[in-house]
Structure 1
Amino acid sequence: MEHPLFALKAGDSRVRTYERNGFTVTVKPGHDGCATIHDKDLWIYCVSQMVEARNAGQEVFRVVRFKAYDFLRATNRDTSGRAYIRMGEMLARLTGTRIETNIETAGKRERGFFGLVDSAKVVEHDRRNRMVAVEVTLPYWLYRSVEAMHVLALSRDYFRLRKPLERRIYELARKHCGTQPSWLISLAVLHKKSGSASPLRNFREDVRALVQSGHLPDYLMSYDPARDMVTFYAFGPTGRVAEAKDMLAGRPHAPLVAHEKAHARKAGKRPRSANR
Structure 2
Amino acid sequence: MAHPQRDFFVADILDPSPKADMTSMEHPLFALKSGDKRIRSYGRNGFSVTIKPGHSGCATIHDKDLWIYCISHLMEAINRGREDVGRTVRFTAYDFLVTTNRPTAGVGYQRMTEALGRLAGTRIETNIKTDDYRERRGFGLVESWRVIERNEDNRMVAVEVTLPEWLWRSVKARHVLTLSREYFHLRKPLERRLYELARKHCGGQPKWRVKLKALHEKSGSTAPLRNFRGDIKKLTRTNELPDYRVDYDPEADAVTFYVRATKGAKAQMADLVAKLDKPRRRQGR
TM-score after normalising by structure 2 = 0.86
**Aligned to 1:51, which of 71, 75, 97?**
75
Residue deviations 1:63-101 (CA, integer Å, cap 9, x gap): 000000000000000000121111111111000000000
Q: 1:251 to 1:32 in 2, by over 3 A?
A: same
**What residue in structure 2 maps to residue 154 of structure 1?**
179
**What residue in structure 2 maps to residue 25 of structure 1?**
49
Q: 1:239 to 1:113 in 2, by over 3 A?
A: same
* Secondary structure of residue in 1 paired with 2:210: strand
Indicate the percent of aligned positions where both proteins have the same amino acid.
63
Amino acid at match of 1:177: C
Structure 1 residue 239: Cα displacement: 1.7
**What residue in structure 1 maps to residue 35 of structure 2?**
11
For 2:53 and 2:279, the matched residues in 1 are separated by: 42
Amino acid at match of 1:30: G
Q: 1:105 to 1:253 in 2, by over 3 A?
A: farther
Asked if 1 retains the 8 angstrom alpha-carbon contact of 2:54 and 2:118, the reply is yes
Q: 1:133 to 1:183 in 2, by over 3 A?
A: same
**Aligned to 2:218, which of 193, 199, 224?**
193
Asked if 2 retains the 8 angstrom alpha-carbon contact of 1:126 and 1:132, the reply is no
**What residue in structure 2 maps to residue 89 of structure 1?**
114
For 1:91 and 1:81, the matched residues in 2 are separated by: 16
Give unpaired runs (5+ residues) of structure 2. Answer: 1-24
**What residue in structure 2 maps to residue 131 of structure 1?**
156
Structure 1 residue 130: Cα displacement: 3.1
Structure 1 residue 131: Cα displacement: 2.0
Give matches, 1:78-227, under 5 Å: 78-125=103-150, 127-227=152-252
Amino acid at match of 1:219: Y
For 2:279 and 2:252, the matched residues in 1 are separated by: 10
Asked if 2 retains the 8 angstrom alpha-carbon contact of 1:64 and 1:135, the reply is yes
Asked if 2 retains the 8 angstrom alpha-carbon contact of 1:233 and 1:240, the reply is no
Which segment is superposed worse, 238-247 or 18-27? 238-247
Residue deviations 1:174-225 (CA, integer Å, cap 9, x gap): 0000111010001100000000000000000001111110110010111101
Residue deviations 1:21-48 (CA, integer Å, cap 9, x gap): 1100000000121100000000000000
Structure 1 residue 126: Cα displacement: 7.1
Structure 1 residue 238: Cα displacement: 1.5
Give matches, 1:246-265, under 5 Å: 246-249=274-277
CA RMSD, 1 decimal: 1.6
Aligned residues: 254
Asked if 1 retains the 8 angstrom alpha-carbon contact of 2:148 and 2:159, the reply is yes
For 2:279 and 2:168, the matched residues in 1 are separated by: 42
Asked if 1 retains the 8 angstrom alpha-carbon contact of 2:260 and 2:271, the reply is no
For 1:107 and 1:234, the matched residues in 2 are separated by: 30
Higher RCO (C-alpha under 8 Å, 6+ residues apart): 2
TM-score after normalising by structure 1 = 0.88
For 1:250 and 1:216, the matched residues in 2 are separated by: 19
